[in-house]
Amino acid sequence: MTVTAAPRPGAAASGSGRIRLSVPTTASHYLIWAATLVVVVGPVVPIALASLWSTPLYRSGGHLTLGNFRDLVTDSAWWGAVGNSATFAALTTVTSVPFGVGAAVLLTRTNMPFRRLFAGVLILPVMLPGLVLIVGWMAMWAPSGYVSSWLEVNTVLRFPVDLYTLPGMALVATTVAAPTVFLFCRTTVLAVDPALEDAARSAGARPLRALVSVTVPLLRPAVLNSALLVFAISFEVLGLPLILGFSNDITFVSTYLYGNWINAAPPNQGLVSAGAVFLLVCVSGLLVLRNRLVGDASRYTTVTGKATAMRVVDLGPVRWSLAAVLATALGVLVAVPLAGVVMSAFTTILTPYVTPWSVLTTANFQAIADHPIWSESIVNSLLIAGVGGLLATAAIAVVSVVAHRSAFRFRGSLQQAVVWPRMMPGLVTGMAFFWSFAILDPSGAVRGSLWGIGLAFAVRSLALGYGVFYPALVAIGEDLVRAARTSGATWWRASVSVALRLSAPAMAACFILLFVSMLNDADPAVFLVTDRTPVMGLTMLQLAATSTGGAVAAFGVIQMAITLAVLGAGRIFLGVRAHA
């Protein structure tokens, strides 16, 4: 029997040729873990407490009660709002999933003409502020819109859907939801091994039949993933029903909570908190269900060690007909609304009865420049996005290092905490920080400052930046950090000087996407803004909910211009792709 001495802790077997250096857990690891949980998860606790308390948390007295939940479940308006939200989310999912899946297959695996152009136009709504598209739809496709009115006057055609109904709002939401499905499924389609289709073709299947019978079924995880994500996001959306649902008194869960807080006198804060708990549970439950339904992803593994070049399926002459159908759909859903925003911003009135070039003006932009709150909201949003984006990027980098490059015992919970904000609707995030500030800062100094709004925006966008940054960090080999440590560097110094320096391009991508997200965000600001701290997203949302004038469109053009400029600069100077 051979006796082998056990290796010292921190040394590998001699045959490996490597020396493993232990990664010590220091107080800084626990401090980062605790701070992350407090900032990300902690604010949810005051919402739950406010929903169970008889008076607002910033007032003395009060006691535990279930009265807020009783008032909520006995309010018929609440259940009407739940029904409308569920119906809207279902309609949006049903329309966006087939469109997104079909586009992913056609634009990735077939020889359809203008594939790159169509793909670029399709994902454009994902990169732009959602409110911009809503304003464009109202300007062009509403019952009194420019194009719908022109069709009614000059042709026998009519736009088939009223935007101020649930189906109309679902159609507008499809403009953003379908690209989301497309991006999920496109990645999977690109990863499918063409050898599987070759096997089907060797059994007698035609190329198109092989594509439909082999590749499309393998999209099940991506389809389930994107469908539940679309349903969850649609269920908690605020801007769309607030703008389009007002005229027909169509109330969603989000607008129900918004109205009972903003428009009620006095605000029903306990009732709204109870509704926020319900919304948080529903959306979180849907996203957890999304992870479970996808199941074992290994059942759908198709990429092996033998790489095979992707083959394009020849559609024959029908490809031109399909291209014409897709071009028409993208024109109606994307191009025409965006043109409507620009036309409304640069005209005094947009109507088919007056030629647009005869009423050109820059007065709408001048009105924004002259209005102190409107102009200040742009400056505030740029400050929040710039400073907040930098600080959030630094925080994500530090948290990712601890979560993925250390032996910290709670690193798993740290990874889950960072993605937790994605499960929190924007309204819930804003309310969570409102109650947290009310308890911890009774003077209101933080809540009434840009720092408070920036913190809420940063937490809401945390999962987005983390999802972009951590894969690049994980891809960096441990040998590089190990080499720095053998030269005497501490773990922190080695991680910063090697791992973070090599992942600088990913940090740049993280900052660009955080900047755009925080610049255009609006929902968390509902409960936090004051007259001294307006932000561009919420200012435009409130303006669009009460007016359809050119100032709203001018705001949309400014938002769109800043967003495209930042994404373009990131692409040119940093190599950051907008759809990353």
- Assign 3-class secondary structure to 523-546: HHHHHCCCCCCCCHHHHHHHHHHH
Which letter does DSSP use for residue 299 in this model? G
Q: At what angle do helices 220-235 and 76-109 cross, to 10 degrees?
A: 150
The answer, as to whether pTM is greater than 0.85, is no
Q: Is 38 left (phi over 0), alpha (psi -120 to 50) or beta?
A: alpha
> For residues 176 and 72, what is the distance between their CA atoms, to the nearest angstrom?
31
Reading the block at residue 498, the tokens are 């090697």
Q: Is 364 contained in some domain?
A: no
Of all helices (H) and strands (E), which one includes residue 240? Answer: helix 239-244
For residue 424, which of 260, 276, 231 has the smallest C-alpha distance?
276
Q: Which domain range does residue 148 map to?
A: 75-301+318-345
The phi and psi torsions of 274 (rounded to 5 degrees) equal: -65, -40
Indicate whether 26 belongs to any domain. Answer: no
Q: SS3 for 53?
A: strand
Distance CA 225, CA 291 (A): 7
Structural domain contains residue 517: no
What pLDDT does residue 23 have? 63
pLDDT of residue 310: 60
Place of tokens 């972009």: 468
Residue 224 domain-assigned (yes or no): yes
CA-CA distance, 268 to 117, in Å (whole number)?
49
Per-residue pLDDT at 70:
93
Domain of 245, CATH number, reads 1.10.3720.10
Residue 295's region, left for phi above 0, alpha for psi from -120 to 50, else beta, is: left
| Cα four-point dihedral sign 82, 85, 88, 93 | negative
Domains: count for the chain:
1
Asked whether residue 534 is assigned to any structural domain, the reply reads: no
Helix (H, G, I), strand (E, B), or coil: what is residue 295?
A: coil
Nearest Cα neighbor of 447 from 456, 83, 6 is 456
Q: Which amino acid is at 81?
A: A
Give the CA distances from residue 267 to residues 260, 394, 527, in Å, rounded to whole numbers and listed in that order. Answer: 6, 38, 11
Sequential pLDDT tens for the chain (580 residues): 344 444 443 443 334 444 445 566 778 889 999 999 999 888 888 899 999 988 888 888 888 899 999 999 999 999 999 999 999 999 999 999 999 988 988 898 888 899 989 998 998 888 788 888 888 999 999 988 899 999 988 888 889 899 999 999 999 999 989 998 898 888 777 766 566 666 656 665 565 566 666 666 777 777 887 888 888 889 889 889 988 998 888 999 999 998 888 887 788 888 999 998 888 888 777 767 766 665 544 444 444 444 455 667 778 888 899 999 999 999 999 999 999 999 999 999 888 888 888 899 999 999 999 999 999 999 999 999 999 999 999 999 999 888 888 888 888 888 888 888 877 788 888 888 988 988 888 888 888 889 999 999 999 888 888 888 887 887 777 777 777 778 777 878 888 888 888 888 888 888 988 898 899 888 888 888 888 899 998 888 888 877 657 888 898 899 888 988 888 887 776 655 544 4
Distance, in Å, from the CA atom of 206 to the CA atom of 350, rounded to the nearest integer, reads 51
Q: How far, in Å, are 156, 159, 162, 347, 354 from residue 351 at the CA level?
A: 18, 16, 18, 10, 6
Per-residue pLDDT at 241: 92
515, with CB counted inside 10 A (0-12, 13-18, 19+), is buried
| Burial of residue 300 (number of CB atoms within 10 Å: 0-12, 13-18, 19+) | middle
415 located within any domain: no
Q: What is the pLDDT of residue 8?
A: 40
113 part of a folded domain: yes
* Interatomic CA distance for residues 238 and 460, integer angstroms: 15
Contact 270, 435 (CB under 8 A): no
**List of E strands, 72-212:** none
Note whether residue 208 is domain-resident.
Answer: yes
Please give the distance of CA 39 from its chain centroid, rounded to a whole number: 20
- CB 426, CB 460: distance < 8 Å: yes
Q: 217, 187, 178, 213: which is closest to 313 by C-alpha?
A: 213
